[in-house]
Amino acid sequence: MAEHNGGCEHIHTHSSAEPIDNHMCHCNVCKTVTGQQMTHVAFFNWADLEVDHPELLNRQPFNKDNPSGALELCTCRVCGTPIMLDDKQRRIRVAVPNLMGYEASFPDAGYHAFYDDTRGYPKPDDGRPVYEGFRPEFKMPQPA
């Protein structure tokens, strides 16, 4: 059974389930928000990622160019630590393991998503599949 814990000193996230999708994201929104060339992103079914103090979350649009979009970046109201991305439609909750307090043993990403060969950086060659979007078999879950 999986156990994944993240968060900060004030807010803790927990899941006993494995992510439903786990990839290295190359999208421009992730690059802008994290400052990373690629970002390890894990999607959980919305109800599978629990938050112990949701009242301490500050919420802001994840994509500044689409402020009405489904995803909100949730940070700790006390210390500012990023906690998760929360889907207003209650389909997914998203963890960025290296920024959101997850253990080093968090499962590795299985593929590269949203790679764009027109951006001028080399195509990843670490043995994981590389896609222009999500892996073909991934389907967004229904709302919780």
Q: Tens digit of pLDDT for each residue in 10-50? A: 999 999 999 999 999 999 999 999 999 999 999 999 999 99
pLDDT for 1 equals: 65
Kindly tell me if the per-residue pLDDT of 56 is higher than 80.
Answer: yes
Tell me what the mean pLDDT of segment 62-88 comes to.
96
SS3 18: coil
pLDDT for 119 equals: 85
SS3 55: helix
Taking residue 131's Cβ as centre, other Cβ atoms within 10 Å add up to 16
Secondary-structure class of domain 4-113 per CATH: alpha beta
Tokens of 4: 């994944």
**Burial status of residue 67 (CB atoms within 10 A of its CB: 0-12, 13-18, 19 or more):** exposed
Entry pTM: 0.95
For residue 144, what pLDDT band results from cuts at 50, 70 and 90? confident
Q: Tens digit of pLDDT for each residue in 96-135? A: 999 999 999 999 999 999 999 888 899 999 999 999 999 9
Strand order in the sheet with 92-95: 57-61, 71-76, 82-87, 92-95, 39-45, 21-25, 111-113
Tell me phi and psi for residue 101, to 5 degrees.
Answer: 80, 20
Domain coordinates in residue numbering, the chain: 4-113
pLDDT for 2 equals: 83
